[in-house]
Amino acid sequence: MNDAAAEPRDVARDLRRWQARTVATVFATYATYYFCRQNIAAALPAMQRDLGLTKSDLGQVTMALFIGYALGQLLFGALSDRHGVRWMLLGGMLGSAALNVAFAFSRPMAPMIVIWGLNGFFQASGFPSTAKTIANWFPPAQRGRVSAIRGADYPLGSLLVMVLAGWLGEHYGWRWAFIVPAGVLTISALHTFLRLREAPEDVGLPSAEEQHTGQAAETGNGFNGWRYIIRMTVGNRRIWALAVAFFGLTITRHGFGIWAVTYLTDQGASISRAAAITAIIWAGGIVGNFVAGWWTDTTLGGRRAPVVVPMLALLAVLSAIFPLVPVQSTGLLLLYLAVVGACTYGPDMMICHTMAMDVATRKAAASAGGFIDFWGSVGAAISVALTGQLAESMGWSSVVGLWAGGAALAAVMVALLWNVRGGHAEYV
């Protein structure tokens, strides 16, 4: 007899290995999603110059992504809970890559608006699918720390593509800021499809409920039905509070994320310098994610709001004073934008990812994340369009009230969930 074949399986060791593999795969997946959406922020100044577009025109183009993204969140969130994630991610990533190439060869304005809106729709496949995967693999007691790691993916992706797209746009033209990132996303799509598994049950390992309580849930990794999904999402007042909070936060997040490069170039910076400086937002965001995720798990026993609310309040204040920060003082500007990033992306990940899982359970995590992100996309669409109009008609100083108000609204809504934590129901 083969003694190796008779050895009992080390379940704990295998679970740790698969969990690490899952986090690494999801990290790479979602980081590269941002290569084909955040790239436009670095390309906007060159597009404005080469195509003769106004800031209002650029606002309409960028708004189209968030409209498509909002609609896609509702569809892909529900489909991820019902049908699984691997094929969803493959189709979404390849579709987004193809649309970025098409956008590079399109002409203003209508074709650009349509193509970038469709890109937003395919981009929406990413968040609910990856949120569902993390919810399946990890119990509530670990989700804050996992979110701290996983939540660094899209700030890192944004940082890398801002530098890359800014350099490409300045030296080779804005179209290459879409073509090269599309190649990166295509390679990542194949990697994701080969490496990712949706849940531990798929490889014979304990479910999230077994990890949490020692007992498996009755339906395992199966679908709980649409009635359960609706009750845990649109019928859940806590999910509505998170949705309104995310609506407010994305007004601020995408105000800075989409328009900061254009603001700095208006003040005299080159495109590549403005993109490099703005990238510090996402470096700060990585730090903010780790602070929020680890602190809420290790110190607050899974309560997220006591960390999120102060960060959002500080973000509101920082937004209001943006025009007072001297652009010529590179060190001060970098410090300011790094803190903005920390106070943006720590709450961002907590609201739409970790708190959504805490409230809706893993059985409705994708639908809940998609529903919350839908309202966030509405806020983002309003922000990018209105920011362009306000900046053009009234100047940049008129914009900061909008951004500060969004962060303040988010702080108030999250404060309503001060003592909420996950893991107190049949499903986790």
In this structure, what token pair is assigned to residue 106? 């399109």
- The two tokens of residue 348 are 């961002």
Residue boundaries of the structural domains of the chain: 13-415
For 306, phi then psi, to 5°, come to: -60, -20
Say whether domain 13-415 belongs to CATH 1.20.1250.20.
yes
DSSP character for 196? -
- How far apart CA 191 and CA 206 sit, in angstroms, is 25
Name the CA radius of gyration of the chain, rounded: 21
Q: Which amino acid is at 365?
A: A
Rounded distance between C-alpha atoms, residue 169 and residue 176, angstroms: 7
Task: Report yes or no: 127 and 352 within 8 Å, Cβ to Cβ.
Answer: yes
Q: Compute the distance between CA of residue 283 and CA of residue 163 in angstroms, rounded to an integer.
A: 12
Counting every residue written for the chain, the total comes to 428
Could you list the pLDDT tens digit for every one of the 428 residues in the chain? 444 454 566 888 999 999 999 999 999 999 999 999 999 988 998 899 899 999 889 989 998 998 999 899 888 877 777 777 888 999 999 999 999 999 999 988 999 999 999 999 999 999 888 888 888 888 877 877 887 788 789 889 988 998 899 899 888 999 999 999 999 999 999 999 999 998 898 888 888 777 766 555 555 556 666 787 788 777 889 899 999 999 999 999 999 988 898 888 888 888 888 888 998 999 999 899 888 888 888 888 788 999 999 999 999 999 999 988 888 889 999 999 999 999 999 999 889 888 888 887 777 777 887 888 889 989 988 998 899 889 888 888 889 899 999 999 999 999 999 988 765 555 65
- Which residues have C-beta within 8 Å of that of residue 205, sequence separation ≥ 6? 11, 14, 15, 18
How far is Cα of residue 333 from the mean position of the Cα atoms in its chain?
24
Render the burial of 124-139: b for 16+ CB within 10 Å, e for the rest: bbbbbbbbbbbbbbbb
Q: Which of helix, strand or coil describes residue 200?
A: helix
